[in-house]
Amino acid sequence: MKPVLALVGRPNVGKSTLFNRLTKSRDAIVADFAGLTRDRHYGNGKQGRQEFIVIDTGGFEPDASSGIYKEMAKQTQQAVAEADMVIFVVDARGGLSAQDHDIAKYLRKIGKPCLLVANKAEGMLEGIQLTEFYELGLGEVIAISAAHGQGTRGLVELAFESLNLPDEPDETEEDPSVIKLAVAGRPNVGKSTLINTLKGKRAAKTGDEAGVTKLEQRITLADDFYLYDTPGVLWPRIIVEQSGFNLAASGAIGVNAFDEEVVALELLNYLIPNYPQAITERYKVQDVASHTDETLLEAIARQRGAIQSGGRVNTTKAAEIVIHDFRSAALGRLTLETPAEFAIWLAEGKKADAERAQRKKPAPPKKDTQRR
C-alpha cells in the first residue's frame, strides 16, 4: 500500500508549495497570504519506484473552537489520522511562533511518526538560524526550500527510511482482506458527492462544474475499507501523450484534460530547441538554449510582470500568457509535430498500451506435475 504523508503547520509556511513539489504538479493553489488552503487535498507522488500519497492541509490551530478555523482544524486532524508520517512544516525565515508550539504539543500527544521541516531555508546557515526550532522537542530539524526544490528529495527518502518501507514495493504482498473501492465515471456525474454521502461528511471536493477532482483521493471508511475518488474519465482516451499536450496547447482539448502549467511547460520544452528565435522576439529573453522549460517560464513571468507580492513569480499567469500567445499566433506560425514525429509517438503509445494489456492478463494456470 502507498505510504501517506500529511503536511501540517500554521498558515503560510509553504505547505502547498511543498505539496506541489512532492507531487510534481501545481494542483495546490499558492499565494503570499495565509488561509488560502482550507480543506485537505490529496495528491500522488513517486520517488524512484516508490509511490506515495501526499495530503495538503490548511493552517492548523489545534485549539480553534469556532468558525472556519475549527473546520480547518478538523480537516487537518483527519489528515493526521490517515497519515503514516506527519511532516510538520515551519517557516525558517519567520522563526518560531506560539502556534508552532501548540501544533508540536498536539503532535507529541498523538505519537504519530513526525518529521520537523524548516521551509524557506534557502541561503541560511542551518546550525545558527534553525537552532530555535529544537525547542519544539520533535528531534532533528530538516532544512528545505520547497520553492527551489532544495532538500525535498532527501526529505522523502528520510520519511521512507523512518517508515521502514521495502526497497521494492510488491503489490501482491498487500493484505487481501483490505477492501479498496474506486468510484469512476465521466466528469460531473456526482462521484465525489456519492463518496461524501457514504462517508457521512464532506471528505471529497465537489463543485458545479467538471474537473474539480484532478487527482486520486483516498477516503478511509474503516481500517480495512478505502474509497478512491477519481477524476472524470474522458473519451476518447489519449494514448499518444505528446499529441495530447499539443492538442491541449492548441485548445482542441478542454481545460480540464491537462493542467495548464504542465501544458505550457511541455510547449516551452518543444520550442526551446526548435523555435528559440520566436521566444526571444516575443518575450525579449536572451540565450534561450541555456534555459530549462521551468526557468524559461519564470523568465517570461518576469518580462511580462507576472509577479506576486514579495517578488515571487506567478507561473500560473505566465502559463496563461504563453498558451494564449501560441493560440493567437503571436509567437508566429509554429508546427508542433511532423508526420514522422507523430508516427514515432503513436508507435510508442501502442507499445505501451500493449504492455499494459499484457500485464493485466491473468497468469496461465500451473500444470499439475505430480505423478498419479
CATH of the domain at 255: 1.10.1580.10
- Which CA distances in Å does 148 have to 24, 50, 265? 13, 23, 17
CA distance 342 to 316: 29
- What is the average pLDDT across 137-144? 91
Asked if 44 and 123 sit in the same domain, the reply is: yes
Asked if 222 and 118 sit in the same domain, the reply is: no
Of the pLDDT bands very low, low, confident and very high (cuts 50, 70, 90), residue 289 is very high
The verdict on residue 359 lying in a domain is no
Asked if 57 and 131 sit in the same domain, the reply is: yes
- Which range of residues forms the domain containing residue 272? 241-327
Domain count, the chain: 3
CATH number of the structural domain spanning residue 39: 3.40.50.300
CB count within 10 Å of CB 57 equals 28
| DSSP per-residue letters across 7-44 | EE-STTSSHHHHHHHHHTS--S---SSTT---S-EEEE
Residue in the structure block whose three cell numbers are 482544524: 73
pLDDT above 90 covers a percentage of the chain that reads 24
pLDDT, position 306:
87
CA distance 51 to 53: 7
CA distance 12 to 107: 19
The verdict on residue 216 lying in a domain is yes
Q: Which amino acid is at 274?
A: N
Asked if 33 and 11 sit in the same domain, the reply is: yes
Asked if 246 and 303 sit in the same domain, the reply is: yes
Q: Write the pLDDT tens digit of every residue in 230-281.
A: 655 544 555 566 677 787 888 876 555 567 888 888 899 999 999 999 999 9
The verdict on residue 333 lying in a domain is no
pLDDT, position 313:
83
Asked if 21 and 112 sit in the same domain, the reply is: yes
Asked if 224 and 249 sit in the same domain, the reply is: no
Q: How far is CA 166 from the centre of its chain?
A: 23
CA distance 156 to 176: 27
pLDDT over 90 (residue 288): yes
Asked if 192 and 113 sit in the same domain, the reply is: no
Using only C-alpha atoms, what is the Rg of the chain? 23
Q: Write the pLDDT tens digit of every residue in 93-106.
A: 888 988 899 999 99
* C-alpha triplet 259, 241, 167: angle, nearest 5°: 85
pLDDT above 70 covers a percentage of the chain that reads 70
CA distance 132 to 150: 21
The verdict on residue 169 lying in a domain is no
The verdict on residue 340 lying in a domain is no
Q: Does residue 163 or residue 39 have the better pLDDT? A: 163
Asked if 117 and 185 sit in the same domain, the reply is: no
First to last CA, the chain: 41
Q: Write the pLDDT tens digit of every residue in 202-226.
A: 655 444 433 444 455 666 766 667 7
Element (H, E) at 219: strand 217-222
Least trusted range by pLDDT, from 172-176, 198-202, 298-302 = 172-176
Q: What are 15's three cell numbers?
A: 505547505
The verdict on residue 371 lying in a domain is no
pLDDT over 60 (residue 4): yes
The verdict on residue 353 lying in a domain is no
Asked if 18 and 133 sit in the same domain, the reply is: yes
Asked if 9 and 158 sit in the same domain, the reply is: yes
The verdict on residue 95 lying in a domain is yes
